[in-house]
Amino acid sequence: MAENPNDTIPTVIADGVDIVYRVNGTGAGRGSATAALNRILRRKQAEKAAGVRKVHAVKNVSFVAYRGEAIGLIGTNGSGKSTLLKAVAGLLPVENGHIYTDGQPSLLGVNAALMNDLTGERNVFLGGLAMGMSREQVKQRYQEIVDFSGINEKGDFITLPMRTYSSGMAARLRFSIAAAKDHDVLLIDEALATGDRSFQKRSEARIRELRKHAGTVFLVSHNNKSIRDTCDRVLWLERGELRMDGPTDEVLKEYEAFTGDKAAKPAPKPKPKPAPAPVPS
């Protein structure tokens, strides 16, 4: 099936998705012991009184992603891009609606943690095994992963513990491990922004390669250039709503006009932060 990238096979379907965060410990009596006890004892009835606040992060978003597509997610900070990605990965529950996926989407985030006290070498093995590869498969891919990450370009760093790595090196290794497996659906959260220029070029090439192997790639980035280089379709989220869905050039043009020249736009955008909760009794 990898040989025939068929545009009509959907891999991710979001059907009217709402995502709501509940945040404890806001409002009156913030952080005090009595407020906490109150929350524990009175649960639901006291949700409002005890200062549980709801943040509606994603509102009624629907889209269909097809096999072989690379889709960019753009939007200003706090617009719900990462939240939507986590929900597609099955790591956040949706409030309303459904997300259907073909196979298991894998989230490749900058935050993805490996074990800092272990050597890079062991982390490659652990990461590979955790993704469901067999020992033999990891062994086969090992050299490829290390070479791709470029960790050993400046000496034998792969046998040193991860805690000795620079943040860029660690992010590169994480990307290399995750990209070693052919994913059905790969979700990338601003991972491209971390490496140096030569690594960015390699990872863009790798993403194109992953797309060829019948996967679908979602990319969250604030770097319009890397979106333009890798994606052919873009979803623009603003304040949790899907504002535009279309070919990269068209959407990016609108988006750049929106971010670059806000004053010229008719409706000014208030802060994405939700309004303060009404003062509880």
Partner 1 sequence: MTQALHTPPTTPTPPETHDLAALAARHGLAVSGARPSLPEYIRQLWARRHFITAFATAKLTAQYSQAKLGQVWQVMTPLLNAAVYYFIFGLLLGTSHGVQDYIPFLVTGVFVWTFTQSSIMAGTRAISGNLGLVRALHFPRAALPISFALQQLQQLLFSMAALVVILLCFGIPVAASWVLAIPALVLQFTFNAGVAMVMARMGAKTPDIAQLMPFVLRTWMYASGVMFSISHITSGKDLPSWVTAALQANPAAVYIDLMRFALIDSFHASQLPPHVWAIATGWALLAGVGGFIYFWKAEETYGRG
Enumerate long-range contacts of 105-108, CB under 8 Å, 24 or more apart.
Answer: 105/12, 105/183, 105/184, 105/185, 105/186, 105/187, 106/131, 106/178, 106/181, 106/183, 106/185, 106/186, 106/187, 107/187, 107/189, 108/174, 108/175, 108/178, 108/179, 108/186, 108/187, 108/188, 108/189, 108/191
Nearer to partner 1, 222 or 233 (CB): 233
Distinct helix (H) and strand (E) counts, the chain: 8, 9
| Residue 193 found at the interface with partner 1 (CB under 8 A) | no
The one among 61, 73, 84, 107 contacting partner 1 by CB under 8 A: 107
Task: Spell out, one character per residue from 248 to 277, where the chain touches partner 1: x when CB under 8 A holds, - when not.
Answer: --x---x-----------xx----------
Q: Applying CB under 8 A, does 83 fall inside the site for partner 1? A: no
Tell me which of 70, 88, 146, 210 binds partner 1, using CB under 8 A: 88
DSSP-assigned letters across all residues of 63-128:
EEEETT-EEEEE-STTSSHHHHHHHHTTSS--SEEEEEESS-EEEEETT----TTSBHHHHHHHHH
* 47 is an interface residue for partner 1 by CB under 8 A: no
Considering only 48-56, 94-102, 148-156, 209-217, which stretch makes contact with partner 1 by CB under 8 A?
94-102
Q: Which residues contact 276 (CB under 8 A, 6 or more apart)?
A: none
Q: Is position 9 an interface residue for partner 1 (rule: CB under 8 A)? A: yes
Of 213 and 233, nearer to partner 1 (C-beta) is 233
**Per-position b or e across 159-179, b if 16+ CB within 10 A of its CB:** eeebeebeeebbbbbbbbbbb
> With binding defined as CB under 8 A, does residue 31 bind partner 1?
no
- Under rule CB under 8 A, residue 191 binds partner 1: no
Token pair, residue 193, equals 């922004």
Radius of gyration of the chain (CA): 21
102: contact with partner 1 by CB under 8 A: yes
Q: Report how many residues bind partner 1 under the rule CB under 8 A.
A: 65
**Closest separation in Å from C-beta 75 to partner 1:** 14
Phi, psi of 206 (to 5 degrees): -65, -40
Q: Does 64 bind partner 1 (CB under 8 A)?
A: yes
Which x/- pattern, by CB under 8 A, does the window 128-157 give for partner 1? -xxxx-xx----------------------
Return the number of the residue (61 or 151) whose C-beta is nearest partner 1.
61
109 binds partner 1 (CB under 8 A): yes
Binding residues for partner 1 (CB under 8 A): 7-16, 21-22, 62-64, 66, 86-93, 98-102, 104-109, 111-115, 117-118, 122, 125-127, 129-132, 134-135, 161, 233, 239, 241, 243-247, 250, 254, 266-267
